[in-house]
């Protein structure tokens, strides 16, 4: 079965409104009507024009047709996608087209006009699922929260076609959610056809950049800045966590890049999964400006120390 590009047949773009489609149909019908046209293939072209107009003038049929996507080319081998058999349309074509043998197999397959008789039940189908990105803070993920959000989502416009609309939703973010997980909100996807149920909305969770932490799975990483003498002598320092600051010990002789593990201070677990840890990554920071007294002390240390790391 060959795909038919109804927009190409009428010579209009996919964004054409109802008036443009009607005007194009009248123009093409006059051109190819068998009673007046001199073209050899006028009868076949006239039936194609009738068929294209029958679909594109009806908001629900047009939306169902548009769901096939815009990547198909006229004449390309086509099979309806899985689940299309659940779409129903009790349909009778215009008398002119019906008198010339009805519409194409492509039309009959899509809109349920079978050769053995029409299917009843009216045109009805569930809407497609929709996905959007939800950016949240690490604090929201760690503690769980209920948030009001506004998203641009597909909805039905006055002409029955899909258009982007601002929708406000209340979303419950569970404690311990991680980046890449999806939240399902039932019935907030694309609207159904012919009164059918709407699809679902899936929110793909992403984390907002954090000024103090990097995230790997459920583990957090924090660059812990220490002075040279704290790294050499050891020290008790304060480390930020998602639950507030805690103190930890910097071992004597610590090196830059060394990791101090704070068990259980990462993102909490969920659904039976273990929580993550916080790793404080030591970054030794040296002073950029020195007083005369400080410079003399550093010079004295340099002259008396026996430590030479490049030997």
In this prediction, residues 240-244 reach a mean pLDDT of: 95
pLDDT of 228 higher than 80: yes
Instruction: Identify the residue with better confidence: 207 or 68.
Output: 207
Mean pLDDT of the chain: 84
| pLDDT tens figures, 94-152 | 433 443 346 787 887 777 543 333 444 445 667 778 899 999 999 999 999 999 999 88
Pick the more confident residue, 128 or 229.
Answer: 229
pLDDT for 85 equals 57
Sorted by sequence, the CB contacts under 8 Å of residue 80 that are 6+ apart come out as 109, 110
- Report the distance separating Cα 29 and Cα 271, nearest Å: 62
Q: What is the pLDDT of residue 90?
A: 43
Check residues 22 and 37 and name the one with the higher pLDDT.
22
Determine contact, residues 250/282, Cβ cutoff 8 Å. yes
**The pLDDT value given to residue 222:** 98
Angle between helix axes 59-66 and 42-56 (nearest 10 degrees) is 100
Interval 179-201 mean pLDDT: 86
Give the model's pLDDT for residue 118. 40
Which range scores top for mean pLDDT: 28-42, 98-112, 187-201, 238-252? 238-252
Rounded to whole angstroms, how far apart are CA atoms 179 and 181?
6
pLDDT for the residue 99:
39
Per-residue pLDDT at 262 exceeds 90: yes
198 versus 257: which is more confidently predicted? Answer: 257
Provide the pLDDT for residue 81: 67
In tens, the pLDDT along 53-107 reads: 988 988 888 888 887 777 777 777 777 766 565 554 444 444 334 433 467 878 8
The residue ranking higher by pLDDT, 139 or 2, is 139
Sign (positive or negative) of CA dihedral 65, 67, 73, 75: negative
Decide: 275 and 262 in contact? Cβ < 8 Å.
Answer: no
pLDDT, residue 204, reads: 95
Lowest mean pLDDT among 56-60, 206-210, 220-224: 56-60
243 has pLDDT over 60: yes
What's the confidence (pLDDT) of residue 121? 47
Q: Which residue has the tokens 């004295």?
A: 300
Contact call for residues 280 and 262 (beta carbons, < 8 A): yes
pLDDT of res. 93: 43
Distance CA 60, CA 50 (A): 17
């Amino acid at each position: 079965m060959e795909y038919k590009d109804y927009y190409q047949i009428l010579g209009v773009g996919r964004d054409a409104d109802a008036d443009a489609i009607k005007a194009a149909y009248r123009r093409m019908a006059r051109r190819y009507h068998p009673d007046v046209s001199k073209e050899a293939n006028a009868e076949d072209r006239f039936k194609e024009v009738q068929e294209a107009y029958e679909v594109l003038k009806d908001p629900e049929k047009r939306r169902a047709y548009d769901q096939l996507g815009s990547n198909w080319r006229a004449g390309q081998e086509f099979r309806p996608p899985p689940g299309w058999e659940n779409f129903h349309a009790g349909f009778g074509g215009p008398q002119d087209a019906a008198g010339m043998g009805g519409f194409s197999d492509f039309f009959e397959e899509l809109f349920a006009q079978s050769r053995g008789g029409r299917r009843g039940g009216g045109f009805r189908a569930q809407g497609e699922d929709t996905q959007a990105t939800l950016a949240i803070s690490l604090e929201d993920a760690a503690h769980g929260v209920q948030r009001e959000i506004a998203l641009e989502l597909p909805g039905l416009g006055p002409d029955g076609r899909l258009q982007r609309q601002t929708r406000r939703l209340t979303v419950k973010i569970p404690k311990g959610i991680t980046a890449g997980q999806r939240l399902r909100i039932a019935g907030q996807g694309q609207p159904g056809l012919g009164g059918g149920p709407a699809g679902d909305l899936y929110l793909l969770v992403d984390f907002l950049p954090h000024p103090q932490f990097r995230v790997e799975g459920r583990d957090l990483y924090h660059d812990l800045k220490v002075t040279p003498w704290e790294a050499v002598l050891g020290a008790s320092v304060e480390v930020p966590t998602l639950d507030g600051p805690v103190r930890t010990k910097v071992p004597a002789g610590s090196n830059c890049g060394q990791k101090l593990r704070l068990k259980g201070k990462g993102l909490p677990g969920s659904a039976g999964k273990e929580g993550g840890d916080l790793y404080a990554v030591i970054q030794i920071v040296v002073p950029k400006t020195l007083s005369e007294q400080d410079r003399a002390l550093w010079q004295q240390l340099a002259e008396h120390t026996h430590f030479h790391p490049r030997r």
